[in-house]
């Protein structure tokens, strides 16, 4: 278990020791020890088989995407953001947050309920765009389920006490801010669904919800985990509180500016506020890249390095690329140019989602499937192969629409090829997670209370 303890200089000892089930008698194993790996396996498989398939149809304008392109794009977004990221990240947060703050495990039933609501809401909301019938009730039901799951997630996160005083570490504030912004994103989803027409939200409303999810929930949560897990598993130096504060301030400012400038929900568009929000996020990315000092992990690479120590810095390249793309697009607006097209904005967003978040999740699975499971990582090679395929795929998916905002045939074909590669990568990651869940499920059979 993580045991942070300030030394006389106020620094933190944040080495993360194994919390697996190895050596624990089956009858004493924590209830639902299998939940994280199972949730990750299921959500990643959903992303591979449903989310990426819809993305490929949208990229190629095939089948249902011929007449309902916007709806299919949004269905793809619901699956990938809420059905995959929300489920996987929440499953890991429920494990991390109690260990990082030296608290007992959260109750099993609320955790399972929150994850189920995210998955159910994503499937219902995406079905509205796919089916094209009874669309608004499905969309509204899906977003309401996402809101219920978000409120449950926030309730669980906010009730975890601080394990150390904030003067030593701000990571609890990042967890809590992420939970609050997740509820805001879900609320925006419900408002967008209430105004929806023909199976899809207004593009600006969907964009505002998605950006709130990615910038508010995902980024804050990644920083919260990274502040504690990166020094222990990636070989990075601890980030002290004075260096943590600018990240929190810049992220918060960027999210608030993005809400204020969002043109969705009947509000007027304020491009300058959206541009300032992008620049604030760019500054947060630049500062986080500097203070996390990922170069120290790279300089320490050797044959004996842990996989996470090698893979996390590689995943971070996608975040830097996202920052560069945002700065480029924001600079064009400030110089009098037009806002990026829908395709170009999607290319930048996928730099973040596919270029950074997805590889980072797979990289950290090398740690969490072992530490939060049996103490041994099965199918390590599958995970590493999945990571390599994602790194291969994200330039193919993101660079063509950024360089060709109009989206010609070559751009569409390249994006389709990237989608096929991503499908294989996510299936490998899902199978690896399932392989690690199996040993945890077997002892539970036939035992009451599991």
**Cα separations in angstroms, 58 against 54, 85, 219, 348, 418:** 6, 20, 26, 17, 13
Q: What residues contact residue 426 under an 8 Å CB cut-off, 6+ apart?
A: 44, 45, 47, 48, 52, 358, 386
Q: What is the mean pLDDT of residues 103-122?
A: 96
pLDDT tens-digit readout, 276-309: 999 999 999 999 999 999 988 898 888 878 889 9
Q: What is the pLDDT of residue 134?
A: 60
3-class SS of residue 201: coil
- For residue 9, being part of any structural domain is answered with no
pLDDT band for position 202 (cuts 50, 70, 90): confident
Percentage of the chain beyond pLDDT 90 is 69
Is the pLDDT assigned to residue 155 strictly greater than 90? yes
Angle (CA) 100 235 288, round 5°: 75
- For residue 22, being part of any structural domain is answered with no
pLDDT band for position 49 (cuts 50, 70, 90): very high
Q: What is the mean pLDDT of residues 210-225?
A: 97
Q: What is the pLDDT of residue 136?
A: 84
pLDDT band for position 336 (cuts 50, 70, 90): confident
Burial 130-143 (b: 16+ CB within 10 A, else e): bebeebbebbbbbb
Q: Kindly provide the residue ranges of all beta strands, DSSP E only, lying in 45-105, ordered along the sequence.
A: none
- For residue 15, being part of any structural domain is answered with no
299 and 350 in contact (C-beta within 8 Å)? no
**How far is residue 323's CA from residue 282's CA, in Å, rounded to a whole number?**
5
Of the candidates 199, 184, 341, 203, the one whose C-alpha atom is nearest the C-alpha of residue 264 is 203
Q: Which residues pair with 12 in a beta bridge?
A: 6
pLDDT band for position 395 (cuts 50, 70, 90): very high
Q: How far is CA 219 from the centre of its chain?
A: 8
Is the pLDDT assigned to residue 223 strictly greater than 90? yes
Q: What is the mean pLDDT of residues 193-205?
A: 84
Q: What is the pLDDT of residue 13?
A: 35
pLDDT band for position 14 (cuts 50, 70, 90): very low
pLDDT band for position 195 (cuts 50, 70, 90): confident
Q: What is the mean pLDDT of residues 121-138?
A: 86
- For residue 62, being part of any structural domain is answered with yes
Is the pLDDT assigned to residue 384 strictly greater than 60? yes
Q: What is the mean pLDDT of residues 336-341?
A: 83
pLDDT band for position 199 (cuts 50, 70, 90): low
**How far is residue 415's CA from residue 393's CA, in Å, rounded to a whole number?**
9
3-class SS of residue 441: helix
Residue range of the domain that includes 313:
30-437
Is the pLDDT assigned to residue 25 strictly greater than 50? no
pLDDT tens-digit readout, 62-96: 999 988 899 999 999 999 999 999 999 999 999 99
For residues 345, 346, 348, 350, the Cα torsion angle rounded to the nearest 10 degrees is 170
Q: What is the CATH number of the domain that holds 329?
A: 1.20.210.10
Q: What is the total count of domains within the chain?
A: 1
Tell me what the pLDDT averaged over the chain comes to: 89
- For residue 445, being part of any structural domain is answered with no
pLDDT band for position 30 (cuts 50, 70, 90): low
**How far is residue 253's CA from residue 426's CA, in Å, rounded to a whole number?**
33
Residue 133 has what DSSP assignment?
Answer: S
Token output for 207: 């964009």
pLDDT tens-digit readout, 316-334: 999 999 999 999 999 998 9
Q: What is the mean pLDDT of residues 202-206?
A: 89
Q: Angle, to 10 degrees, between the axis of helix 358-371 and the axis of helix 219-233? A: 50
Angle (CA) 119 122 128, round 5°: 140
**How far is residue 359's CA from residue 294's CA, in Å, rounded to a whole number?**
16
- For residue 17, being part of any structural domain is answered with no
- For residue 74, being part of any structural domain is answered with yes
* Largest pairwise CA distance in the chain: 67
pLDDT band for position 405 (cuts 50, 70, 90): confident
Q: Kindly provide the residue ranges of all beta strands, DSSP E only, lying in 97-142, ordered along the sequence.
A: none
**How far is residue 1's CA from residue 257's CA, in Å, rounded to a whole number?**
38
pLDDT band for position 129 (cuts 50, 70, 90): confident
- For residue 450, being part of any structural domain is answered with no
Lowest mean pLDDT among 128-132, 364-368, 418-422, 426-430: 128-132
CB atoms within 10 A of CB 27: 9
Q: What is the mean pLDDT of residues 161-183?
A: 94
Please give the model's pTM, rounded to 2 decimal places.
0.91
């Amino acid at each position: 278990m993580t045991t942070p303890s300030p030394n006389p200089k106020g620094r933190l000892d944040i080495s993360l020791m194994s919390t697996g089930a190895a050596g624990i008698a089956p009858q004493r194993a924590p209830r639902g020890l299998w939940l994280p790996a199972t949730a990750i396996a299921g959500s990643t498989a959903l992303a591979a088989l449903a989310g990426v398939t819809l993305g490929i149809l949208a990229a190629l304008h095939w089948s249902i995407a011929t007449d309902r392109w916007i709806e299919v794009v949004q269905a793809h977004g619901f699956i990938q953001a809420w059905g995959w990221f929300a489920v996987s990240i929440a499953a890991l947060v429920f494990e991390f947050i109690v260990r990082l703050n030296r608290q007992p495990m959260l109750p099993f039933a609320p955790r399972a309920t929150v994850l189920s609501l995210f998955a159910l809401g994503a499937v219902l909301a995406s079905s509205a765009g796919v089916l094209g019938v009874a669309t608004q009730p499905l969309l509204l039901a899906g977003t309401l389920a996402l809101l219920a799951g978000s409120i449950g997630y926030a309730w669980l996160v906010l009730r975890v006490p601080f394990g150390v005083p904030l003067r030593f570490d701000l990571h609890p504030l990042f967890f809590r801010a992420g939970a609050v912004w997740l509820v805001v994103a879900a609320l925006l989803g419900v408002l967008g669904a209430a105004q929806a027409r023909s199976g899809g939200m207004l593009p600006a409303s969907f964009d505002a919800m998605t950006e709130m999810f990615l910038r508010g929930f995902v980024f804050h949560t990644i920083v919260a985990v990274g502040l504690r897990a990166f020094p222990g598993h990636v070989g990075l130096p601890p980030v002290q509180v004075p260096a943590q504060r600018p990240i929190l301030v810049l992220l918060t400012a960027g999210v608030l500016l993005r809400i204020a400038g969002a043109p969705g929900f009947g509000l007027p568009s304020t491009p300058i506020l959206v541009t300032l929000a992008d620049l604030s996020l760019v500054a947060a990315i630049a500062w986080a890249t500097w203070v996390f000092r990922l170069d120290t992990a790279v300089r320490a690479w050797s044959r004996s390095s842990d996989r996470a120590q090698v893979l996390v810095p590689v995943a971070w390249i996608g975040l830097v690329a996202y920052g560069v793309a945002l700065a480029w697009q924001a600079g064009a607006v400030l110089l009098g140019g037009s806002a990026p097209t829908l395709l170009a904005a999607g290319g930048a967003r996928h730099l973040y989602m596919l270029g950074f978040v997805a590889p980072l999740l797979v990289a950290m699975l090398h740690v969490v499937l072992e530490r939060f499971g049996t103490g041994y990582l099965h199918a390590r090679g599958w995970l590493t192969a999945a990571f390599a395929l994602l790194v291969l795929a994200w330039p193919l998916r993101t660079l063509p629409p950024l360089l060709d905002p109009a989206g010609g045939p070559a751009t569409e074909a390249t994006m389709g090829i990237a989608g096929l590669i991503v499908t294989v990568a996510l299936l490998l990651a899902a199978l690896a997670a399932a392989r690690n869940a199996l040993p945890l499920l077997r002892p539970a059979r036939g035992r009451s209370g599991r």
